[in-house]
Each structure stands twice: as C-alpha cells, then as structure tokens.
C-alpha cells in the first residue's frame, strides 16, 4: 500500500501515541524500535491510538509506571 507523502492527521496520531507511551511507560516509539511502516499500516487500517498503544505494550511486555 502507498501512503501520502505528508499527512498531518497521521503526525498528530503518532505524536499522541508517543506522548502516551512516555507518560505511561517512560518509553518512546523510537526507544522501542517501532518501525514507521508499522505505524502507517495500523493508522491507515483504522487502528486508534489506544488500539496501537495496546499492540505496542503487548509486543514489548510493558507495565505501567507508578
């Protein structure tokens, strides 16, 4: 599948996801090595930020801080 060169809604979605990872788990998308293509695939298939957060936390075995 091809994606647009720039999509401001995707940028917002990715930023929201990264913020939630940092706030809840003190980790970032980059820290976890999540590939950009994976994020794009999930975003364009309609996965919400919370859905993607669930996917990432399960894949990496993350536990909430605090």
Looking at the 3D structure of the chain, how many domains does it have?
1
How confident is the prediction along the chain (66 residues), in pLDDT tens digits per residue?
A: 788 889 999 999 999 999 999 999 999 999 999 999 999 999 999 999 999 999 999 999 998 876
Quote the pLDDT of residue 1: 74
Is 44 part of a structural domain of the chain? yes
For 38, the domain range is 34-66
Is 51 part of a structural domain of the chain? yes
Is 19 part of a structural domain of the chain? no
Q: What are all long-range contacts of 5-13, with beta carbons under 8 Å and residues at least 24 apart?
A: 10/39, 10/40, 10/43, 13/43, 13/49
């Amino acid at each position: 599948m091809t994606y647009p060169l720039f999509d401001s809604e995707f940028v917002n979605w990715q930023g929201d996801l990264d913020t939630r990872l940092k706030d809840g788990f003190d980790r970032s998308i980059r820290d976890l090595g999540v590939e950009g293509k994976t994020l794009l695939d999930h975003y364009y298939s309609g996965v919400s930020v919370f859905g993607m957060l669930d996917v990432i936390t399960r894949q990496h075995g993350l536990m909430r801080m605090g």
